[in-house]
C-alpha cells in the first residue's frame, strides 16, 4: 500500500491528460459546431470506458496512490457505466446545445472533469480522496448548470445547486472529521478495523454516521434532502440536467458503498435504520408529488426521488445475523437498479432534448401530445422508458424492482416484508403518472403536427437505448452477474 502503483490508476491519468488536451485544442477550433472538440471528447470517453472494462474483466483488488485509491471490480464497473452515461448525454445534447449557444469547449472539458471526479469517488479508499472526487464532480456540475449565462432560470438553478450542494458537502466533511476523531484513521480499512476492535467512542461514531448519511442522501436526492432536485432539474438546460441525473447518481451509489459498506459495516444496525426512514419518505413524497406535475422535467425529478427510495431499499438489509450472502445479494440488486435506472433516464431526457428546438424546450407533458403521429419511433421508445420506470414487464425496470424486493423478502424479517409490500403499493401509485405520459403521446391530439427531425447519430443512439431497456429486461442475467461479482470482490 505504500507504492504509487501507476498501472492501477492509468485510466484516470489518461482522462486527466485528455481533459487538458481538449481544453487547449478547443482554443484553435474555428468550426462553430465544435466538431473536432466533440469527436476528440467522444474518442477520449471511448478509450477511457474500454480501459475500465478491460480492468474489470482482469481485476483483482489492489491499492494505488499510497493506499488512497482501490482498483477493484466495483469501481471499474461503476466508472464504465458512468463513462457510457456521459458519452450518450453528449450525443443527445449536441443539437440541443448548438441551438442555445452552449456548444463551447467548456462543456466538453467540464464533462470530462466531472467524470474524473466520479471515478475518484467510486474508487476512493481514503476519506479525503472520496471528498476530493466529490468536490471535483460537484464544482464541474455547478459550472455546467450555469453554462448558459444569459438565461436567468439556469443561473438561478446553478445558485440553488451550489448553495445546497455546499451545505451537503459540509455535512459529509463534518461526518468524516468525526470518523477520524473516533477512529484515528482516514483510511476506510483503518476505520473498519477500529470499529471491529470496539475501540472508538460509539456516540461520536453515530453522530458522524448521521452527517455522512445526510450528505449521501443529498447527492442521491432522497427525502428530506431532495429540495434541490425539482428546481435544478427544471431550471437547468436539459443537457446539464441529464449530466446531473445520470452519471452522478452512479457516483453517489459508489460513494455510499465505500463509506457505509467498506468502512462502516460494523455499524450497519445504526445506518440501516436511517436508510429505512429515507427510503420510505422518498417513496411517499416522490410518487405523490410527481402526480401533481405538469412539467415533464419536474415530474421526472420527483420520479428520481422515488426511484432513489428503491435504491436505498437495496442497501437496507445489509448484514443480518452475520449473513454476508444475503447482504451481497441485496447490494448487487441495488447496484443493478441504479445502473438500469441511469440507462432509462438517459433516454427520457435525451428524447426531450431531441424534441426541443430554438426557443422551445419541450419540457411540458402536453408537448408530447400526438407524438405517435409526429414520430412513431420516438413515441415507442418513450413508452418503453415510461414502462420501465413504472416497473412493467418485460422492461428492465420490472426486473430491477423485483430483485430489490426479493432481497428484502429473503431476509425473513417481518419488518422488511412489510417494507416490501409498502414499496409495491407506492410503485402502483407511481404507475399513474408514467402511464399518463403514454396516454398523452398516443391518444391526445397534437398541437403541432409537423414531423420531428433529429440527427441520424442521435436517432441511432436513442434506438439502442430503448433496445437496451428491453433486452436487459428479458436477459438481465449478464449484468446481474457482473454486479454480483463486483460486490463479492468488494466483500473480500
Q: What are phi and psi of 67, to 5 degrees?
A: 80, 5
- The Cα 186–Cα 81 span in angstroms is 28
d(CA 363, CA 455): 20
Cα within 13 Å of Cα(239), Cβ side: 28
| 50 Cβ contact list (under 8 Å, min separation 6) | none
From residue 58, how far is each of 68, 479, 490 by CA, in Å?
Answer: 21, 17, 15
- Copy the grid coordinates of residue 44: 477520449
| pLDDT string in tens for the chain (492-residue length) | 445 677 888 999 999 999 999 999 999 988 888 889 999 999 999 999 999 999 888 767 788 888 889 888 999 999 999 999 999 999 999 888 888 878 888 999 999 999 999 999 999 999 999 999 999 999 999 999 998 888 888 899 999 999 998 988 999 999 999 999 888 889 988 888 888 887 677 788 888 999 999 999 999 999 888 889 999 999 999 999 999 999 999 999 999 999 998 888 888 888 888 999 999 999 999 999 999 999 999 999 999 999 999 999 988 876 544 455 567 888 999 999 999 999 999 999 999 999 888 777 888 899 888 888 888 899 999 999 999 999 998 999 999 999 999 988 887 666 688 888 999 999 999 999 999 999 999 998 887 777 788 888 989 999 999 999 999 999 999 999 999 999 888 755
**Contacting residues for 434 by C-beta, under 8 A, at least 6 apart:** 303, 386, 387, 389, 390
In this prediction, residue 83 carries a pLDDT of 96
**Given this model, what pLDDT does residue 150 score?**
82
Q: What is the pLDDT of residue 3?
A: 55
Distance from C-alpha of 42 to C-alpha of 112, rounded to nearest angstrom: 10
Cα–Cα distance for residue pair 54/410, rounded to 1 Å: 34
The shares of helix, strand and coil residues in the chain, as percent rounded to the nearest 5, are 80, 5, 20
Query: DSSP letter string over 175-216?
Result: HHHHHHHHHS-SBHHHHHHHHHHT-S-HHHHHHHHHHHHHHH
47-139-103 Cα angle (round to 5): 60
With vertex at residue 225, the alpha carbon angle to CA 165 and CA 402, rounded to the nearest 5 degrees, is 120
Q: CB under 8 Å to 159, separation ≥6 — which residues?
A: none
pLDDT at site 319: 54
Q: What is the structure's pLDDT at 1?
A: 44
Chain mean position to CA 110: 17
Phi, psi of 413 (to 5 degrees): -100, 120
**pTM for the full model?**
0.93
In this structure, are residues 239 and 78 in contact, taking their beta carbons and an 8 Å threshold? no
Helix (H) / strand (E) containing 82: helix 73-98
Query: Can you read off the three cell numbers belonging to residue 479?
Result: 449484468
What is the three-class DSSP state of 360? strand
Query: CA end-to-end span of the chain, whole Å?
Result: 17
The residue length of the chain stands at 492
Residue 446, helix vs strand vs coil = coil
- Local structure of 394: helix, strand or coil: coil
Amino acid at each position: 500500500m505504500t507504492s504509487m502503483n501507476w498501472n492501477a490508476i492509468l485510466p484516470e491519468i489518461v482522462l486527466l491528460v485528455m481533459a487538458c488536451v481538449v481544453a487547449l485544442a478547443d482554443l484553435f477550433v474555428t468550426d462553430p459546431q465544435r466538431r473536432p472538440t466533440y469527436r476528440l471528447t467522444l474518442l477520449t470517453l471511448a478509450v477511457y470506458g474500454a480501459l475500465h472494462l478491460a480492468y474489470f474483466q482482469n481485476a483483482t483488488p489492489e491499492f494505488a496512490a499510497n493506499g488512497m485509491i482501490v482498483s477493484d471490480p466495483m469501481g471499474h464497473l461503476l466508472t464504465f457505466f458512468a463513462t457510457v452515461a456521459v458519452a450518450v448525454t453528449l450525443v443527445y445534447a449536441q443539437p440541443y446545445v448548438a441551438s442555445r449557444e452552449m456548444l463551447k469547449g467548456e462543456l466538453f472539458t467540464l464533462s470530462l472533469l466531472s467524470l474524473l471526479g466520479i471515478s475518484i469517488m467510486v474508487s476512493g479508499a481514503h476519506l479525503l480522496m472520496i471528498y476530493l472526487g466529490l468536490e471535483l464532480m460537484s464544482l464541474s456540475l455547478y459550472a455546467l448548470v450555469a453554462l448558459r449565462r444569459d438565461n436567468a432560470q439556469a443561473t438561478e438553478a446553478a445558485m440553488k445547486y451550489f448553495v445546497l450542494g455546499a451545505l451537503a458537502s459540509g455535512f459529509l466533511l463534518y461526518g468524516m472529521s468525526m470518523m477520524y476523531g473516533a477512529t484515528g484513521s482516514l483510511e476506510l480499512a483503518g476505520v473498519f478495523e477500529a470499529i471491529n476492535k470496539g475501540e472508538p467512542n460509539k456516540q461520536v461514531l453515530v453522530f458522524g454516521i448521521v452527517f455522512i448519511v445526510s450528505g449521501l442522501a443529498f447527492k442521491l436526492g432522497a427525502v428530506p434532502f431532495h429540495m434541490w432536485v425539482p428546481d435544478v432539474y427544471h431550471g437547468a438546460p436539459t443537457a446539464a440536467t441529464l449530466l446531473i441525473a445520470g452519471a452522478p447518481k452512479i457516483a453517489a451509489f459508489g460513494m455510499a458503498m465505500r463509506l457505509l459498506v467498506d468502512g462502516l459495516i460494523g455499524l450497519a444496525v445504526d445506518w440501516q435504520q436511517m436508510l429505512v426512514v429515507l427510503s420510505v419518505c422518498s417513496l411517499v413524497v416522490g410518487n405523490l408529488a410527481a402526480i401533481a406535475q405538469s412539467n415533464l422535467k419536474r415530474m421526472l425529478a420527483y420520479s428520481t426521488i422515488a426511484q432513489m427510495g428503491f435504491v436505498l431499499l437495496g442497501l437496507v438489509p445489509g448484514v443480518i445475523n452475520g449473513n454476508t450472502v444475503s447482504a451481497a445479494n441485496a447490494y448487487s440488486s441495488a447496484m443493478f437498479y441504479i445502473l438500469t435506472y441511469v440507462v432509462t433516464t438517459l433516454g427520457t431526457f435525451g428524447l426531450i432534448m431531441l424534441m426541443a428546438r430554438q426557443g422551445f424546450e419541450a419540457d411540458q407533458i402536453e408537448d408530447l401530445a400526438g407524438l405517435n403521429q409526429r414520430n412513431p419511433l420516438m413515441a415507442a421508445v418513450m413508452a418503453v422508458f415510461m414502462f420501465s420506470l413504472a416497473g412493467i414487464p418485460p422492461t428492465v425496470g420490472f426486473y430491477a424492482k423485483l430483485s430489490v424486493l426479493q432481497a428484502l423478502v429473503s431476509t425473513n424479517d417481518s419488518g422488511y416484508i412489510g417494507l416490501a409490500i409498502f414499496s409495491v403499493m407506492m410503485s402502483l401509485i407511481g404507475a399513474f403518472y408514467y402511464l399518463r405520459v403514454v396516454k398523452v403521446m398516443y391518444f391526445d391530439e397534437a398541437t403541432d403536427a409537423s414531423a420531428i427531425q433529429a440527427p441520424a447519430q442521435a436517432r441511432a443512439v436513442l434506438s439502442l437505448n430503448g433496445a437496451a431497456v428491453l433486452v436487459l429486461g428479458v436477459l438481465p442475467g449478464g449484468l446481474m452477474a457482473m454486479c454480483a461479482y463486483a460486490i463479492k470482490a468488494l466483500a473480500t
